Each structure stands twice: as C-alpha cells, then as structure tokens.
Structure 1
Amino acid sequence: MARALLSRRIFFSITWILLGLTCHTQSSPTPAVLWHGLGDSCCNPLSIGRIQKVIESNVKGIYVRSLQIGTNFFEDTFNGYFLNANKQIAMVCEKLAKDPKLKHGYNAVGFSQGGQFLRAVAQRCPNPPMRNFISIGGQHQGVYGFPRCPGNSSELCNLLRQLLNQGVYVPFIQDNVTPAEYWQDPLNKKEYKQKSVFLADINQERGINATYKKNLMKLSKFVMVKFENDTVVQPKASEWFGFYKENSTSETFTLQQSRLYKEDWLGLKAMDHAKKLVFLKTEGDHLQFSNKWFIQNIVNPYLK
C-alpha cells in the first residue's frame, strides 16, 4: 500500500514537472536571427537596429540576435564587401551553434545580401534548426549590374566597382570581393558556372548536393519579399528566384520557369506544392518599408 502511494506521488510529480516544462516552452517565443545587407552593420540604429526594436516591441520576451561579422562596426561593414561569402557563412554557423538560446531553433530574417547568405546557412548548417526563413530583397539568383552601390560609404562603393571592372570571375576577385560571388553573367553562363565560388554552388548549378536540398526542405516557411520599384537589384526578379534569360539582359524568367524549379534541384518545387513558399511584394525601393508593413506582413505571421 505504501509503495503504491509512493509510486503515485512520484508519477504525479513527474507529470506536473513535464506539464510545467511544456507550458514554459509554449510561452517562450522562437528566437529571431537577423543578417544585414551590404554596406550595413548589425546594430545601426537607423536600419537593423530599428528592425530589432520593432520585433522586440511586438513579440514579448523574444530573443533577437543581429549578426555581426567581425569584432566592431567597421569590420562588420568592411567584411560585407570584402570577406569571402563562404567564410562568412562558416563563421555564422559556428556562432549560431554556440548560442545556447538558439539550440531549440530560430526564425531567420535576411536583408538583401544577408538574404541569400542565410539561405546558405539553412542549406549547409541545419543545427540549430531554422524554422521560418524570411528573405527581404535577397538576390537568390544573383545580380547582373550595379545601378547604384548600396551602403553609406562612397569610398568602399568606388573600390568595389573598380575591382569588379577588373574581371568579376578572376580568382582573386571571386575570393575577396563579396558581391562578385553572387554575380551571374547571363551572357557568359559557362564561365559563371565554372568560376562562381558561392552562388553556383548553393544553387546546385555544378551538380546536386542532396544535403543542401534536404536541409532547405526542413523549413516551415520560405518567405521572399520583392521590391516592385527596386533600383539597386538587377534584375529585381532575383528576389523571387527569377533572373535574366540566357544571352539576354532585358527578358527575365520566373522561378517556376527555371530548370532549378522544374528539376527541383533545391526542393523548391516540392516546397511550393506544400505551400511552404510565400511570395510577398511591396511598392518601395530596395529595403524601403514602413514599420507597419513589417509588423503586419512579417512579424505577426512569421515571428510570433
């Protein structure tokens, strides 16, 4: 009799503990990870710093980590232009894996260049798990042309242009000029596929990496935001995974018209059929949106 009572007490005690842990887990919002774009830094109060505050103000108790590539503001900005994308992604994967607050998973929001870089994180580093991925103005098929260099530093922009003019697929440029690593020349697809050190790899254009596909398909939602009046990204179709048709700099194709989709190199076709892909658009120029739009279209449906 005594043993039976003791066993019941132990059973109910464990049950209450487990229920308490479950309630605690359910009440804790999923953390968010942010990655800024070219010419920005993790904590700029006028850009990513503002976004972080908007999220924290609208999702009570959320942990937000804004990624810094380097040890200070200058390094973070400089590395956005001149640190190899693959090295940046490896650094971020290590940072995320070591952050105990992210061990149960996180939602990711990438801005412009940070968009395709966070997609690479999803494909290459599944632990900790990325839940929802929001790409805001990310160039998933790369770019071809810089109508105006983004960022606040004219010196860095001018240097970037000079280096790209020397030959975007020269090994030194590919290894050391970050935007060159997602530059796709529609007039020279053969050289792009052979020499692109980043984009051609993550877009499976030199062969299928089954792990990339498997990892990306683990996402609950992949949200892509396109800016209808974008004057920075050429072509803006890249923000929805489209690009210029081969041998053209004016005609574009959509994601659904691409071989990448039709042959399902990344699992995007399967994700689309499962309603995991979300295509949003806004009328602003590149990365120009209001707090109200961001809360209604990003925070409330995907970060809460």
Structure 2
Amino acid sequence: MLKLITLLLEQPPLVIMHGFNQHAGQMDSLVDQIKQQIPDIYIRNCEVGDGENATFYMTIENQVNELRTCILNDPKLANGFIAFGYSNGGMLMRGYLEHFNHLGPKILRFITYSAPLGGFFCGRSSTCVGKAVPPILDDLVADIIYTRPLQTLIGPTNYWRDPYNLDLYIKHCAYLPKLENIVNYSQQMKDNFLSPDLFVLFGSNKDGAISPWQSAWFGVFADDQDEIVLSMEERDVYVQDLFGLKTLNENGRVKRLNTGLNHMQYDTKEFVGMLVPWLVME
C-alpha cells in the first residue's frame, strides 16, 4: 500500500493529443476513465487550432507548434510529462519529441494509439475506402501531393509516404523525412528521440484506418508496391539507426502491443485497461 501511495504521489502529468478530424472534447471520455483508475493524475487535453478543421488545413509543423504552445502554457508540465497521442496526435507528439524535447518540458514516456509513425499510404493495391485520410487524397497522384501548395494546404500530406515515388517523398514531403533524419540530419533530434524511458506503441491488425496498420509500429510498405509491409527492423532508417529507433529497441525500450481493436476504440474500457498500467512510472 505504501508503495502504491508513493507511486501516485510521484505520478507524472499526462498530455493527450487528439486525432485527425477531431477536437479535444472527443478525448474527454478517455480522460474520465483514466482518472477513475488513477484519481490523482493531472491530465492536459490539448487542442490544435480549432480542432477538426485545423488537423486538415494546418501543416503538421504548425500543428506541432500548437501542441507545444499548449504544453508551454501549462506550468504543471514543467518537470516533464507522459505523452499520449491518438492517430494524427501521435505524429504530433513525435514532432514535439524530436524538435523540442531538449528545450522542455520533456516527454518522459511516449505512448501512442494507432499513430501513423511510419507514414501513410493507400490507393493502389491498398484501398483508401474508410481510411483516416481526407477523401481528396484518393484522387491525387504523387506529382500533385508532393507539390508545395498541397504540402502547405493539407496537413496529412506531410507524412504521405508513397512507396512508388520515394524520390519525390524524400525531396518534397514537408515533415516526415525530417523526423526520419533522411534529410537535414540532426544529432539533436536523434538525442531527443532517445530521451524517453519507453515507447509504448499500441497498434492493431483490425485498425482499419491507418495504412499500413503496422505504421503504428514504424512499419512501412516496401519499395514500389503496397502489399508487402516492412517491419521497423527491416527498414534502412532502422539499420542505419538514423533517428535512434534501433538503439531504443535493442535496449528494450520499445513495446509493440496489438490491441485487437479498431481505430475508433481508443476510449473503450478494453483499451483503457491496457493503457493505465503504462501511465505509472516507477
């Protein structure tokens, strides 16, 4: 009992970031259920811009800056926090981690639910029907998606990783190649990535929204097709340890957990039961 009380007294705050086409209020159910199990936890439920529209029309860089403002404006987060990012929110948390963790407040533990950490692609062998992308992307080709106007106008294009056009992706995708340290290599970003104690990555083979679903575990489609998926260990960026994922994994600090749930079940009793144990840091 004494140990439990001590853990709760030292419980770090939690920052939650909502997903694409959402607003912060849609995370309230998750917040309430977590508080039922950890009554003393402080939770900051962040908003990007005006919520739903901002996740579509705002670049990922600007969305990350909005998240940072939310964090900086809360003095209760000054000593660090556990990060939880749902879907697009997981990408934003990754952006904050790599760009700003050395400046603080620091992410102490990194947790995501069905986040497109390895990027997103659908539209050839892999259908886009029902996926978590703006419908307009279904009808656009890489030559258009990777133009500056589209990269500026539609946020999710900033992590659209087209396996048939990786040269265009590397040269013109506005955000994810930077996080992967493929372009403009930054040792500081790698150091920042390595700073949390654990990466807890919830994904699901029944997700149905992100493509491929293994992107939740840094997986990607193999080159020039969209049927075979490479695990994170099979990727060049992992082998070269460009942003620190190999080091983290070999140190036992990456946990890949298959929930068996669909993309929208982030606030269910089943998922909260899986999540809560990872919110207590010993």
State the TM-score, normalizing by the size of structure 2. Answer: 0.89
1:134 aligns to what SS in structure 2?
strand
Q: Does 1:194 align with 2:171?
A: yes
2:51 aligns to what SS in structure 1?
helix
1:43 aligns to what SS in structure 2?
helix
Whether the 8 Å CA contact 1:84–1:176 is kept in 2: the answer is: yes
Query: What is the distance in 2 between the residues matched to 1:142 and 1:123?
Result: 16
Whether the 8 Å CA contact 2:84–2:110 is kept in 1: the answer is: yes
Q: Which of the numbers 37, 41, 44 marks the counterpart of 1:58?
A: 37
What RMSD in Å do the two structures reach over aligned CA positions? 2.2
Whether the 8 Å CA contact 2:30–2:267 is kept in 1: the answer is: no
Sort the Cα spacing of 1:36 and 1:208 in 2 relative to 1 into closer, same or farther, 3 A.
Answer: same
Matches within 5 A, 1:1-304: 27-44=9-26, 48-70=27-49, 75-126=50-101, 127-145=104-122, 146-150=128-132, 157-158=134-135, 161=138, 167-288=144-265, 291-303=268-280
- How far off its partner does 1:202 sit? 0.8
Whether the 8 Å CA contact 1:135–1:224 is kept in 2: the answer is: yes
- Larger-Rg structure: 1
Gaps of 5+ in 1: 1-22, 152-156
Deviations 1:131-190 (A, max 9, x none): 111110001111112322549xxxxx4456567798211111101101111101100100
- How far off its partner does 1:57 sit? 1.3
- How far off its partner does 1:232 sit? 1.3
Gaps of 5+ in 2: 123-127
Whether the 8 Å CA contact 1:244–1:253 is kept in 2: the answer is: yes
- How far off its partner does 1:227 sit? 1.2
1:278 aligns to what SS in structure 2?
strand
- How far off its partner does 1:116 sit? 1.4
- How far off its partner does 1:69 sit? 1.4
Query: What is the distance in 2 between the residues matched to 1:300 and 1:254?
Result: 26
Identity %: 22
Query: What is the distance in 2 between the residues matched to 1:60 and 1:164?
Result: 49
> Which has the larger helix fraction?
1
1:167 aligns to what SS in structure 2?
helix
- How far off its partner does 1:294 sit? 2.6
Deviations 1:48-78 (A, max 9, x none): 11101111111122111111112xxxx2110
Whether the 8 Å CA contact 1:137–1:287 is kept in 2: the answer is: no
Whether the 8 Å CA contact 1:85–1:198 is kept in 2: the answer is: yes
Deviations 1:15-72 (A, max 9, x none): xxxxxxxx9997142110011111111012xxx11101111111122111111112xx
1:4 alignment partner in structure 2: none
State the TM-score, normalizing by the size of structure 1. Answer: 0.83
